[in-house]
Structure 1
Amino acid sequence: MILFNSVLPTNLSQDDVVCDTVLDVGANIGIFAAFAAEKVGKSGLVIAVEPVPPTWEVLNYNVDLLHRPGDGEIILINRGVGDGSKEAIDFTFYPAAAGWSTMYPDASEVSDAMRIFLDRSLPTLEGMDLSLVNKVGSLAARKAPKWLIDPLARLAVSQMLAQKKEYSCQLTTVSNIIKTQGLEVVDLLKVDVERAELDVLRSIADQDWPKIRQIVMEVHDLNGALSAVRELLDVKGNFAACVVEQDTQLEGSTLYNLYATQQGS
């Protein structure tokens, strides 16, 4: 059993989390999938799910590049995960910010979250992707007075959002993946799907909830989504240990990280 200490909330120890099978919903360009494959080892399995064609291509490239002998098997699935009500949906893809790609675009939330992040990060560039800063000029960003940071942030975000493209992508469900891959257990379900978190959880059939030992997910708390996620976990699973945290650089935004462990796991 491999410990997933690097994705633990701050109040859980390494002994609290073990993984052999990882389901990565919203795998993006595959960095986490490659990391997970290394952690689970040769006997483990990582299933990485990503719908958007340009991101899918990079995901394949990165998995080929980063996968090493001794790592767990990685299975790639070119699908989005919906609630089961649709077979396909249009995804909005942002070439300059692939991680924002979503089936539920919300330019206002993206702009507000990025403004908060940049407001806290531009003075030192701590935790920043310099390609983002380069959109407005890293030198100017470092020396920008506080009153200028907000316009700079909005300019950078608006430029990125303006480049959006749309792709029609096929959908699947968590339960369909569990069935088709013959999974008896999902040691870790990782979800990063930009406002589609509830869809992912609602795609889990009642009989499959006991198979999911741990969940780590980003939740966009719009229209009570965070409370709805926690309520769903209470109703559908026996997730006695549930922790919600917010990155200090995103305090005041709608973005939260949620960690949940099935009781008895």
Structure 2
Amino acid sequence: MQSATLPDGRVIFCVNAYEVDFSVHEIFSEDLLAHGLSLPADGVYLDVGANIGLFSLYLRDHCPTARLIGFEPMPAAFAALKANMAAMSPAGTAVQLALGDHSGWAEFDYFPGIAALSTQNRAVGQKMSAGLRGLLGGGAAQDGVQDVLDKTGVAAVAHDAAFLDQLFQPEVVRAQVETLSDQMRVLGVDTVDLLKIDTEGAEREVLAGLAAEDWPKIRQMLIEVHLGEQVLAEMAADLRRRGFTTSLGRHPLCRDGAEVFHIYAAR
């Protein structure tokens, strides 16, 4: 594990320190209230695809007595997540699992150089890698992202093809998969104030693992969608049929073929 310092001076654990600045920009600048979501101080929050736990840290800042549970299947990212959850007060819970539509084991493409890209959906991983590689070398980032990239020092190596080849080289990792409903029962979760899903292309499988009787237990969702605008529209429509109101957003990386969108859903 490595460590990194957040803008407020906190030291956290991570896989790659140079990833943290961008993730902090993405997560900590998010105004969930503007999208109709609420953050009860003592709520229950499920962070699916938690990576090193930055979204859970964001929630702890806003929800001092909340119950936070993060799911992350990749061993290196999970080690950092577990350490960051343990350092919170009160501590969060880290679970080393992927969530999907059935129990079992699955192969993931794990990117040691950019752990946040790790995915069970190889096509999504390839598309995201190509889009991010274009972003690093193109100098066309929007919404303050270029400033963050410059801060990481990536500009100095953005045109080094050998470095970028290594950065975006995945390795195959097998990980255990369980369903969301099974984990809610194991963890004794009766109500979820916010379900956040960021699984690099497995968002539909995560929701497919939610049994019919458990859907009413979910008050709000924040879903990152990596499967294109048609799937985005289909997922949003399905959530509305289930009684949610929805708001849609675009991720800063939604360019160069890396289609990334957000669904904000609340009852």
TM-score by length of 1: 0.77
Aligned residue number for residue 39 of structure 2: 18
- Structure 1 or 2, whichever has the larger Rg, is 1
Deviations 1:50-98 (A, max 9, x none): 1111111111222234x13xx4x411111000111x4110111111100
Deviations 1:95-143 (A, max 9, x none): 110000111122531234214533323998323275571xxxx3475xx
Distance change >3 Å, CA 154–CA 245, structure 1 → 2: farther
The question of whether the paired residues in 1 share the 8 Å contact of 2:48 and 2:195 is answered with yes
Deviations 1:135-169 (A, max 9, x none): xxx3475xxxxxxxxxx39766532222x222211
Aligned residue number for residue 159 of structure 1: 166
Deviations 1:181-222 (A, max 9, x none): 221210000111000010011111111111111111210134
Aligned residue number for residue 135 of structure 2: 117
Segments of 5+ residues of structure 1 without an aligned counterpart are 142-151
Runs of 4+ in 1 over 6 A off after TM superposition: none
Of 168, 172, 195, 2:201 maps to: 195
Aligned residue number for residue 245 of structure 1: 249
State the secondary structure of the residue aligned to 2:215. helix
Task: Tell me the distance in 2 between the aligned counterparts of 1:214 and 1:232.
Answer: 14
- Residue 227 of structure 1 and its aligned partner are, at CA, apart by 2.5
Aligned residue number for residue 178 of structure 1: 184
Aligned residue number for residue 146 of structure 1: none
Of 82, 87, 110, 1:60 maps to: 82
Aligned residue identity for 1:28: N
Distance change >3 Å, CA 192–CA 140, structure 1 → 2: closer
C-alpha RMSD over aligned residues: 2.9
Aligned residue identity for 1:31: L
Aligned residue number for residue 127 of structure 1: 148
1:214 and 2:220 are equivalent in the alignment:
yes
Of 62, 79, 82, 2:100 maps to: 82
Distance change >3 Å, CA 160–CA 132, structure 1 → 2: farther
Of 14, 30, 52, 1:29 maps to: 52
Identical pairs, percent: 26
TM-score by length of 2: 0.76
Segments of 5+ residues of structure 2 without an aligned counterpart are 1-26
- Residue 250 of structure 1 and its aligned partner are, at CA, apart by 2.7
